[in-house]
């Protein structure tokens, strides 16, 4: 609907730096985000929760991590073997 302040969520596939622990668990540490053709690294400042099996508002199912990146709360998903973050269109 035109004029809505709310816009649909979409998947933005990203590269994620992860830390593997000795038991095989993973912890996302940073996101690599393409910005005008330049890859930028954004550290994950805090993991609020995760991983939890959830479906995304942008479509898809995966393990969800609620994270804080530069004071912004975001949902980061591991969908099979690819990472995506929910973003507004």
Whether the Cβ atoms of residue 15 and residue 78 lie closer than 8 Å to each other: no
Query: CA-to-CA distance for 33 and 29, rounded, in angstroms?
Result: 13
Per-residue model confidence (pLDDT) at position 30? 98
Residue-wise pLDDT tens digits, 3-51: 455 678 888 999 999 999 999 989 999 999 888 999 999 999 999 987 8
pTM for this entry: 0.79
How do the domains of the chain map onto residue ranges?
9-88
């Amino acid at each position: 609907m035109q004029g809505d302040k709310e816009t649909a969520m979409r998947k933005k596939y990203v590269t994620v730096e992860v830390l593997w622990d000795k038991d095989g668990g993973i912890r996302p540490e940073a996101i690599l985000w393409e910005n005008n053709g330049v890859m930028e690294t954004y550290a994950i400042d805090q993991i609020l929760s995760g991983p939890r099996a959830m479906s995304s508002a942008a479509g898809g199912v995966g393990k969800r991590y609620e994270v804080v990146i530069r004071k912004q709360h975001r949902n980061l998903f591991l969908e099979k073997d690819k990472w995506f973050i929910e973003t507004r269109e």
